[in-house]
Amino acid sequence: MAVLEVVQGGDIGTQYPLEGARTVIGRHPNCTVVLRNGAVSRQHAQILEDHGQYALEDLRSRNGCYLNGERIEGRVPLRNGDEIRLCEVVLSFKDLVTEPLPKTDASIPMVVGETVDLSALSGPEGVEDESRIFVLPEAQLPAEDFDSGTSTRRVTAEDSSLSRIDPNVKLRGVLAITRALNRQLGIDEVLPKLLETLFSIFPQTEQGFVLLRDGDSKSARLRLKASRSRGDQEADAVAISMTVVRHALQTKEAILSESVPDDTRFKGSAALSKMRIRSMMCVPLVTQDEEEEGLGVIQIVTRDAKHSFKPDDLDLLVTLASQASMKIVNARLHEEALKRRELERDLEFATQVQLGFLPKSRPDIDGYEFADYYEAAQRVGGDYFDYIRLPNDQLVIAIGDVAGKGIPAALLMARLYSSTRFQVLTQDGLDKAITGLNVEISGTGLGHRFITFLALQLNIKTHEVTIVNAGHLTPILRLKDGTISTLGEGQSNLPLGILPEQQYSMTKATLPPGSTVIAYTDGVSEAMSDSRKIFGRARLEKAVANQSGSVADLIDLIVEEVDEFSGGSALRDDTCLIGFARKDG
């Protein structure tokens, strides 16, 4: 485990554990590590963890991120004792080395499960081996009772104090099963070890198996998860009486048959007859949730007529089964946690891929300044922006919003990135480029998804802006005196992806000295307050009119006002802002 410790510029000594695959550092309240410093960006930097290795990455912060005094570019590895400086705040990275927990400590969950591969039990060409899969019929048990040679006992998850059995014997059995299971990792290792230990505790046992429900706890399908016969070999033929199994699962009763041949219930069981079973025990695996169906069953059998199973044996097996049930539940929970962690890593990778599509830096052009802001509502999003430099002192500023959010929108955003660059760099004229882009997007076969899109082509020498608007929110133009107007007002076309044959038109305007252009997505204007009011364009225009500083300061101000308006709550939609200003003089 690793931690960040504040050593300068904040609450010195405060430690932040790095518990997830991604730790975001910034001043926004949704960050993992929140730094109360106005110079720190809302999402300033992030630390990524991958199999115990940590790396630091700057999230396009305004003032940069420094590692051991050097400003970083891209992702750099972290080592124990490294110092991270974000403006006035200095954090020390400490990679703590912890001793492994003792594997014999039964009070600590030590299961490291693996995903159960059900295909391992499939036959050739994907046909499942039906001898290992059993279906519980809907019908109830026949009305007749078990014979007197058959004992039943109600099983609960708390079965640990039994009256008839010698406490020393019970304790030795529980310790044996606990030690055996705590050394195993996943369910596929736990269950064979469980049978091996039961064979030691009950030396007369000649064959045993474990059946678990295939899937969720209410599934009617049972899968043979482990089997064993005397001689430490897996049983080739498993004797299974579905009457006994069904009764154990439905009633949560443990079943003992001291003499199977004399038990009329088993007269029709070809499996038991073929294996010449003398005595058997079948115990359900149950959880603490009384409403939940059983997990499965454990069954052990013997052919030894002189050493049949007795009621005390059943009581002991019930106790051991309760230990095994807890182990199975913990193993499954851990397997689910591993799956979630793997999904988290996949999402983190997707986040990094998407951030790679966004500009790494802002244009550096004499007489102009640029600023931008991007934040996805989920790990990945559908908002897009780009700067595309063209020959002859031309720059295209593009911004778009894919309908929807999350992974589907992010995938289309990736397509939009490459297609926009191709069309803009190959077509003669911005209107033709966006018309070609629309043809590409319309042919993606992605159903009813569409994209609002705005492209602004800036001539750096003449200060003329060419505008093509595909159903996007019109950009705001602020003049030097604070006057607010709309850039390209009245010029709008259908969003991309709706009508393949749509021809896109363009309009032009000239930027006077001291003017600023702000383009944005609806994550800004449609931000919602706790009282469900919309931020709206009027508030946005007011914020633009009242800010006379740099365009970077203006973008920061808008983000702060939107955040304050929404009460710092989680984003409902992806947010993107892009601004550029012609300097005065």
Greatest mean pLDDT among 178-182, 192-196, 288-292, 418-422 lies in: 418-422
pLDDT at 185: 59
pLDDT at 133: 40
- By residue count, the chain amounts to 585
Residues 454-486: pLDDT tens digits?
A: 999 999 999 999 999 999 999 999 999 889 999
Calculate mean pLDDT across residues 298-317: 88
Residue 159: is its pLDDT beyond 80?
no
Residues 218-248: pLDDT tens digits?
A: 556 788 888 888 764 444 556 677 778 888 8
Residues 379-432: pLDDT tens digits?
A: 777 788 999 999 889 999 999 998 876 777 778 888 889 999 999 999 999 999
In sequence order, which residues have a C-beta less than 8 Å from that of residue 552 and are 6 or more positions away?
62, 369, 371
Residue 110: is its pLDDT beyond 60?
no
- Comparing 38 with 179, the larger pLDDT belongs to 38
In sequence order, which residues have a C-beta less than 8 Å from that of residue 120 and are 6 or more positions away?
none
Query: What CA–CA distances, in Å, run from 209 to 200, 266, 360, 552?
Result: 15, 18, 59, 68
In degrees and rounded to multiples of 5, residue 478 shows phi and psi of -110, 125
Strand order in the sheet with 15-18: 15-18, 2-8, 89-95, 83-86, 66-67, 70-71
Ordered domains of the chain (ranges, CATH): 2-95 (2.60.200.20), 130-335 (3.30.450.40), 358-582 (3.60.40.10)
Percent of the chain with pLDDT over 70: 78
CA dihedral sign of residues 347, 349, 350, 356: positive
Residues 543-566: pLDDT tens digits?
A: 999 877 899 999 999 998 988 888
pLDDT at 404: 73
Query: Which value, to the nearest 10 degrees, does the dihedral of the CA atoms of residues 412, 416, 418, 423 take?
Result: 150
Output the furthest CA–CA distance in the chain (Å, rounded). Answer: 107
Calculate mean pLDDT across residues 169-184: 65
pTM: 0.57
Mode of pairing for the β-strands spanning 575-582 and 207-213: unpaired
Mode of pairing for the β-strands spanning 394-402 and 75-77: unpaired
3-state secondary structure of 46: strand
Cα 267 off chain centre by: 52
pLDDT at 571: 64
pLDDT at 146: 47
pLDDT at 577: 95
Q: DSSP assignment, residue 244?
A: H
Residues 564-576: pLDDT tens digits?
A: 888 766 567 788 9
Residues 501-535: pLDDT tens digits?
A: 999 999 999 999 999 999 999 989 888 888 889 99
- Is residue 348 within 8 A of residue 379, CB to CB? The reply is yes
Calculate mean pLDDT across residues 53-64: 90
pLDDT at 484: 92
For tokens 């990736």, what's the residue? Answer: 414
Distance CA 59, CA 435 (A): 33
At 196, the pLDDT band (50, 70, 90 cuts) reads confident
pLDDT at 155: 58
In sequence order, which residues have a C-beta less than 8 Å from that of residue 94 and are 6 or more positions away?
2, 3, 4, 5, 80, 81
Residue 434: is its pLDDT beyond 80?
yes
Calculate mean pLDDT across residues 1-18: 88
Residue 119: is its pLDDT beyond 50?
no
Distance CA 35, CA 6 (A): 10
pLDDT at 234: 47
Cα 118 off chain centre by: 22
Average pLDDT, the chain: 79
What is the token pair recorded at 313?
Answer: 């044996």
Q: Closest Cα partner for 521 from 571, 478, 578?
A: 578
